[in-house]
Every structure is written in C-alpha cells, then in structure tokens.
C-alpha cells in the first residue's frame, strides 16, 4: 500500500463504501492498515473516528478525535464529534470545554452553536441554550433541525405557546423523520398543558404513520406514566415489547410501572430478565438494588460486586456505585456502602454542580416578597381544598400521602409542579390560585380535596397563605441526620444539591429556620408532622393529624400499605410495607461519613 495522500484517500473511500454496505470487518481492516502506516491525515483520523463512533467503539473513536485535534487544531469537526461522544457518556463538563474551544477557533459555526444549545439544554441553562440555537438559526435559517431544537428548548422551559408557533409553522413531508420529531414535540406541549387526550391522539396517529419507530411506544408509556394510567402504560409497553423484543428501554419502563403499581415481584422479575440479556445494564442493577438483595440471583450479584468502577464512563460509574452502596447497606457493611456512596455523589457533582444557590435564592425571594395587606380582602371561598405537603426530600412524605389518600374524597396529585408553573406564568399573584386550580381540574374535576406533594413548595408558603384561603400546609419533618443520610443515599436526577453532604445540610437548616418563621407568621395553617413520632406511635399522631384536617377518624388511616394508589417516588417499594420504625436512627450506622455535619445537630447524638 503506497503512502501518498492520494492512495490513502482511495483506500478511505473503499473503507467507507464497505461500511455503507455493512461490511464492517472489511472496512475496519482497511482503516487499521492505514493507521498502522502512521500517516495521520485529517481525513483518515476523522473518517476512522466516525466509523468507530457509528459501530459504538466510542473509546477508539474518542482517541482518534483527540489525536485529530492535536495534529489539526484548527479543524472544527473533530471538536464537534468528540463533544458528541462526551455527551453520550454524560461527561457534560468536558463536552462543554471542547465546544467552547471550537468556538474560539471559529466564532460563527452553526454546528458548534447547535451542539452548544444541546448541552446548555442538558444543564437546564435555557437562556444560554436559546442564545446558542438562535445563533445557529441565524447562520443557517433554512435548517429545520435547528428550529425543532429551539422548540424543544422552549418546551423544556415552559414556553409552550412560542414553541407551538414554531412547530406549527414548519412545513414538513408527513413521511419524513423531521415530521415525526415535530409531532413528538407537539405531544410534549399537550402533556405540559395537561391535555393528555390530545397528546395521546397525536402519538396514536404517529403510530399509524411510523409503526417501525419503537420510540413511539416509549413516548406513549411516558404519557401514561405522567397521567398515572399505569395499567394503560403496561398494555402499550407489552405491545411494544412484542414488536421489538430486543429493545430493552421498553422492558425497563415496564419494570418501573410494575414497581409503582406495587407489583414489586413482577418488577424484580423483569429487571433480572433484562440482566440476562444485558449483564452490565446499570439502570436495572440500580433499580434492583433499591428493593432486592439478589438472594436468588448469585451470578448477577457476583457480577455487580466485581465490577471495577474506576474506569467506567460517568453515568455507569454513578449507577454502579449507587448499586454497590445499596447492596452493601443491605448486607450491613456500612463502611463499604459509605465508600461507594461518596464515589457516586462525587461523580454526579462533576457533571451536574449543586443547585443549592438557586434554591436559596427562590426561598429568599418569596420570604421577602412584599404582599400588600389590602389584598387579603380579595380572599374568596374556594370549593376545592388543597393540602400542600412540604419539607425536605426523604422526610416520610410518601407515607403521609398514602395515609391521606385513604380518604375517598382525596385525590393525591403527587409531586406536581403546578404552583411553581403558575407563578412562572403570571406576575399577578391574584391569578395564581386560578391558574393552579385549572391545572388541578385537568387531573380530576370530581374530587374536592387534593394533596400536592411537591416538597419544595415550602418556598411559597407566603403565597399559599395569602392567596389560597382554603388550603392547609403540612410540614413533614424527620430526624435531620436520618433525613440527610437518606437524601445522600438516593440517586435524585433533578436535585443536584443532593450529592453534597454540606449542601444537603445547609438546605436542611435553611428550610427548618424558614418553616419556623412561617409557623410563627401563619399560625394554625401549618401542621408539624413528625415522621419519627408517627412510626413509633401511629395511632395517636395520625389521629391528631386527621382531627386537625377536620376529617372523621377511621382505623383505616393506620394501614396505608393497603392503599391501591400508584406511587411515583423513591419510596414506591418501601411504602407498600406496614408502618414501622426500622429506619429511625439509621444515621448512626454511617457516623464516620456524617461526622462533618453531625456536630451541627448535637441533640441527636
């Protein structure tokens, strides 16, 4: 094989043709022989990198793109493709650095801006995402893919009407994949607006046009999950699995739905079947580790415990570390559990820095909100009664909501964002309650009592007090060190403060001080529900709560495990058990881990 660039280009084209025709082995052999010559042309490094990226040899692809950047630092495409790989590995920080480096080389490049927009969207930095995608659209206004991404960013940031306008103005052939993406986004808008029937119509029509798109079944199952129609979701997932039996995400969603319905054994069975086909599936290992000790699956347990996490990609490292921590916790090896918990949380912070500052800023904004006293005259009777359950995550609120849901007049909304969304939709606080009520009615127009378990609604207590005259607030509290440990042990996807013991503690102390102030200001509207007292003396403490709510007492409130409601939180398996005090004082098993923060709570030694 001659070593001049024309010959190399000729062989690259032959390799590309083999790749296109599906002759992967032949293509790879040609590329390997070219690479062995060590004549690293830009075209060779890029082409071989893309080949390996396409066949999922990401480590080789990454090294080729890195070599290309070192040898040809002014060529932009290598940066873009490297950033894409880093993004798939959830290494968002390095992906962002790579794209910013490309931006310095070539200020106006639509693909760099497009990829930056995707990354900023991942970080939920929506303002920066819009700036980047607008730059891409300005450079190439005819590119419909950019407009679809812009609509997606707007949907994520609750700007549904603007997104709808973009999507409805796109004229796309109905047999194109871009049309498919557009309609998927339109269904998301309807889901955001709680117009679940319209969203379902869009997705079912798409299924008729694109019956080979397995992602449709995922989207339909997600819709049914959000609408709490889990039985319907299970039917559509089984249909999807029948059509695409090798597509593991459908089976994974099925396992999640089983768990949330309380069918824990079926959930375990489905996850273990996934592991039979994909023995290193970190998602199923993690889910299993939260509810099962692998007592009948020794091979899978051995595989999990023998996995070396050090060189794994970020996401795999996080999920396998959490899984190991959970298993060692079950086997009462708390030192090893703590070791892997630290790894998992430190890795999470690398790719998603703590959001505590944003949370504290929200709390202070509403704490200092100037509410004109005369507005209290606008309080009117509301036929709906709202019970806001507030506090820190993992405070026992899922058990509390299960207790309250035993009242047949109650509709448990779960962890909805209705209040936060309503506050974002208007600057007129007098309109917030009506906006909130409209969202609730879309869920259920028959029930009159609604429990809202978005725990961070404690930020908005002044708004609830002044503008929700028929509402009650239940502040759910728990031994702070148990609470802090439980948050740290849970793999929260959207609460990045939860990966820092210091930040969890700071937020706990802030929330406690804030709620003490609000209890002083708003009096009997707020009930202090002590989870530890409930599990030790359920009859007396639950009866006090039911009396405070003005409900008739019944012994049924002592058996929340009998509730047939679907549960969508990290406690979905635990809440199916009888009330017990097994987890009270558990923080002492992790004294060394908690040493930096435990001194702030001397009364709990």
| pLDDT tens per residue, range 243-257 | 999 999 999 999 999
Q: At what angle do helices 177-192 and 196-209 cross, to 10 degrees?
A: 170
* pLDDT at residue 443, as a whole number: 78
Q: Which of left, alpha, beta for 552 (phi over 0: left; psi -120 to 50: alpha)?
A: beta
| pLDDT tens per residue, range 376-409 | 444 445 577 999 999 999 999 989 999 999 998 9
Half-sphere exposure of 205 (CA within 13 A, CB side): 14
* Mean pLDDT taken over the chain: 90
| pLDDT tens per residue, range 419-461 | 999 999 899 999 999 999 988 888 777 778 999 999 999 999 9
| pLDDT tens per residue, range 304-324 | 999 999 988 888 999 999 999
| pLDDT tens per residue, range 17-35 | 999 999 999 999 999 999 9
Give the domain CATH number at 567: 3.40.50.300
192 occurs within a structural domain: no
106 occurs within a structural domain: no
| pLDDT tens per residue, range 71-86 | 999 999 999 999 999 9
- Mean pLDDT over 568-584 rounds to 52
Q: Which of 259, 292, 340, 219 minimizes the C-alpha distance to 572? A: 259
CA-CA distance, 80 to 112, in Å (whole number)? 6
Residue 573 pLDDT > 80: no
Domain extent for 524: 357-604
Residue 218 pLDDT > 90: yes
Strand partners, 475: 390, 528
pLDDT band at 570 (very low <50, low <70, confident <90, very high): very low
Residue 2 pLDDT > 50: no
Question: 122 versus 561: which is more confidently predicted?
Answer: 122
393 occurs within a structural domain: yes
| pLDDT tens per residue, range 480-520 | 999 999 999 999 988 999 999 999 999 999 999 999 999 99
Question: Considering its fold, how many domains does the chain have in total?
Answer: 1
Task: Please state, for a pLDDT cut of 70, what percent of the chain lies above it.
Answer: 93
277 occurs within a structural domain: no
367 occurs within a structural domain: yes
pTM: 0.78
Q: Is 387 helix (H, G, I), strand (E, B) or coil?
A: strand
584 occurs within a structural domain: yes
Residues 558, 563, 566: CA angle, nearest 5 degrees: 140
40 occurs within a structural domain: no
113 occurs within a structural domain: no
| pLDDT tens per residue, range 152-201 | 999 998 899 999 999 999 999 999 999 999 999 999 999 988 889 999 99
Do residues 354 and 503 make contact, with C-beta atoms less than 8 angstroms apart? Answer: yes
Q: Which of 132-136, 275-279, 372-376, 528-532 shows the lowest mean pLDDT across its residues?
A: 372-376
């Amino acid at each position: 094989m001659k070593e001049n660039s024309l010959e190399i280009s000729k062989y690259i084209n032959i390799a590309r043709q083999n790749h296109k025709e599906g002759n992967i082995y032949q293509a790879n052999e040609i590329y390997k022989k070219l690479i062995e010559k060590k004549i690293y042309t830009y075209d060779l490094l890029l082409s071989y990198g893309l080949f390996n990226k396409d066949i999922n040899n990401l480590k080789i692809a990454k090294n080729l793109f890195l070599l290309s950047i070192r040898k040809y630092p002014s060529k932009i495409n290598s940066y873009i493709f490297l950033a894409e790989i880093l993004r798939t590995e959830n290494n968002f920080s390095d992906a962002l650095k790579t794209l910013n480096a490309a931006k310095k080389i070539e200020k106006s490049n639509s693909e760099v801006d497009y990829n930056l927009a995707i990354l900023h969207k991942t970080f939920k930095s929506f303002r920066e995402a819009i700036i980047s995608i607008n730059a891409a659209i300005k450079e190439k206004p005819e590119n419909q893919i950019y407009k679809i991404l812009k609509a997606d960013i707007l949907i994520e940031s609750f700007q549904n009407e603007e997104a709808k306008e973009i999507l409805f103005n796109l004229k796309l052939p109905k047999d194109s994949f871009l049309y498919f993406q557009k309609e998927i986004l339109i269904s998301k808008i309807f889901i955001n607006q709680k117009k679940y029937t319209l969203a379902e119509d869009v997705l079912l029509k798409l299924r008729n046009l694109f019956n080979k798109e397995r992602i449709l079944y995922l989207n339909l199952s997600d819709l049914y999950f959000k609408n709490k129609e889990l039985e319907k979701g299970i039917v559509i997932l089984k249909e999807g699995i029948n059509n695409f039996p090798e597509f593991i995400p459908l089976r994974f969603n099925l396992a999640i739905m089983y768990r949330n319905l309380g069918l824990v054994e079926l959930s375990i069975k489905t996850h273990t079947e996934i592991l039979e086909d994909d023995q290193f599936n970190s998602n199923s290992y993690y889910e299993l580790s939260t509810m099962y000790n692998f007592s009948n699956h020794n091979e899978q347990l051995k595989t999990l415990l023998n996995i070396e996490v050090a060189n794994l990609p970020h996401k795999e490292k996080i999920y396998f570390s959490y899984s190991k921590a959970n298993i060692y916790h079950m086997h009462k090896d708390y030192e090893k559990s703590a070791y892997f918990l630290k790894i998992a949380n430190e890795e999470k912070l690398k790719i998603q820095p703590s959001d505590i500052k944003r949370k504290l800023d929200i709390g202070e904004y509403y704490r200092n909100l100037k509410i004109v006293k005369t507005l209290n005259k606008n309080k009117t009777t509301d036929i709906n009664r709202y019970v806001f359950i507030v506090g820190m995550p993992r405070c026992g609120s899922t058990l509390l909501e299960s207790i309250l849901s035993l009242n047949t007049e109650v509709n448990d909304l779960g962890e909805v964002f209705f209040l936060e969304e309503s506050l974002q939709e208007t600057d007129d606080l007098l309109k917030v309650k009506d906006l909130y009520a409209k969202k609730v009615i879309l869920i259920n127009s028959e029930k009159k009592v609604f429990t809202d378990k978005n725990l961070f609604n404690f930020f908005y207590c002044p708004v609830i007090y002044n503008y929700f005259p028929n509402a009650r607030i239940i502040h759910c509290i728990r031994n702070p060190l148990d609470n802090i440990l439980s948050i740290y042990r849970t793999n929260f996807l959207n609460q990045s403060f939860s990966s820092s013991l210091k930040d969890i503690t700071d937020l706990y102390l802030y929330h406690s001080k804030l709620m003490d102030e609000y209890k002083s200001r708003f009096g009997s509207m707020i009930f202090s529900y002590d989870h530890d007292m409930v599990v030790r003396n359920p009859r007396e403490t639950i009866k006090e709560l039911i009396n405070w709510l003005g409900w008739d007492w019944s012994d049924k409130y002592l058996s929340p495990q009998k509730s047939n409601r679907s549960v969508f939180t990290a406690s979905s398996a635990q809440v199916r058990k009888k009330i017990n005090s097994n987890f009270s004082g558990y923080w002492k098993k992790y004294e060394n881990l908690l040493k930096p923060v435990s001194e702030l709570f001397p009364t709990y030694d």
